[in-house]
Amino acid sequence: MDVQPFEDQPWGFTGVFDKNNGGGFLDEIYPTAAKAIWDFEGIYCTSRHIPHVKFAGLIHPGILGCAPSAEVLDTWNTREGELIAANKLERDVAKPPEPINVHAGGADDAVKEKVGKEGARTIPGRPEHGGNCE
């Protein structure tokens, strides 16, 4: 997949969730929400939110949604349920399906309910699916 910005909108952003809103793997170091908008210039980017920083990099799609097969989704939910049950840390190591505030696009109510009960969440990354994809 070759992900590129729109020619008339050469920008992207970095977002960090507040620790009380899901956080992230570094939420003990970065507990509050933050966002930086990046302006792309060729292979370089700069941000008005992070002065004096300019670096070369590759564009990444960030969180990306797709629909795994029912078999793959079942494997994830089983594995991640076991991971959650075995977790002795004070932090989340995986997020189970969540029917509250589920995002299912234009799906009808029956599909939306199914997504809420079975759908993959952002963490953990899944090797058979490219990492951090929902």
Query: What is the average pLDDT across 27-51?
Result: 93
Query: Quick check: 112 and 120 in contact, CB under 8 A?
Result: no
As given in the structure block, the two tokens for residue 31 are 């507990």
pLDDT surpasses 80 at 51 = yes
> Is 27 a member of any domain?
yes
Within the chain, residue ranges assigned H as helices are 70-86, 109-118
Paired sense of beta strands 34-41 and 11-16, if any:
antiparallel
As given in the structure block, the two tokens for residue 130 are 């490219």
Residue 63 has a pLDDT of: 65
> Is 39 a member of any domain?
yes
pLDDT, tens digit, 9 for 90 and up, residues 55-100:
998 777 666 666 788 999 999 999 999 999 999 988 888 889 999 8
Q: How confident is residue 1, by pLDDT bands cut at 50, 70 and 90?
A: low
Residue-number span of the structural domain to which 79 is assigned = 70-129
Let me know whether 41 and 79 are in one domain.
no
Query: Quick check: 94 and 124 in contact, CB under 8 A?
Result: yes
Query: Quick check: 40 and 34 in contact, CB under 8 A?
Result: no
> Is 120 a member of any domain?
yes
pLDDT surpasses 90 at 37 = yes
Phi then psi dihedrals of residue 131, to 5 deg: 105, -125
> Mean pLDDT of all residues in the chain?
86
Q: How big is the chain, counted in residues?
A: 134
Residue type at 73 in one-letter notation? L
Residue 93 has a pLDDT of: 86
pLDDT surpasses 70 at 119 = yes
Angstrom CA distances, 84 to 55, 78, 92, stand at 37, 10, 8
Q: How many domains does the chain have?
A: 2
Let me know whether 95 and 125 are in one domain.
yes
pLDDT, tens digit, 9 for 90 and up, residues 5-24:
888 999 988 888 888 887 77
Residue 131 has a pLDDT of: 60
pLDDT surpasses 80 at 130 = no
pLDDT surpasses 90 at 122 = no
> Is 90 a member of any domain?
yes
